[in-house]
Copies of this chain bind each other. A is one copy, B any other.
Amino acid sequence: MKTILIYDIPDDKKRKKIAEACKDYDLHRIQWSAFIGRLNRNLREELMLRLDKILGEEEGDIKLFPICNKDLKQKQEIKR
């Protein structure tokens, strides 16, 4: 299922590692702190466990949203 992952990570090093982990799971960046890609339930769980480990005790907010194709078709975008 397509999955959107967004994050607020104040620490630069942690943020970089979080982004690299997302790429390891074939998510591609759609905005500075937003990624999208196809992940099944197991891979979603696996990725979030890894991100949890990376973040450690540092401040941060990571949200993952699976989104079905029907919803995705209603996506809207402004890009300049």
A→B interface (CB under 8 Å): 4, 6-8, 30-34, 41, 44-45, 48, 51-52, 55, 57-68, 70-72, 74-80
Chain B residue contacts of A76, Cβ below 8 A? 44-45, 48, 63-64
A30, A60, A66, A76: most-surrounded residue (chain B CB, <10 A): A76
Partner of A67 from the list B33, B48, B55, B67 (CB cut-off 8 Å) is B67
Q: Once bound together, how far apart are the Cα atoms of A65 and B76, in whole Å?
A: 7
Q: Once bound together, how far apart are the Cα atoms of A18 and B41, in whole Å?
A: 34
The smallest beta-carbon distance between A71 and chain B, in angstroms, is 5
- The reply to whether B60 and A80 contact each other, CB–CB distance below 8 Å, is yes
Q: Once bound together, how far apart are the Cα atoms of A4 and B67, in whole Å?
A: 11
Partner of A52 from the list B51, B58, B78 (CB cut-off 8 Å) is B78
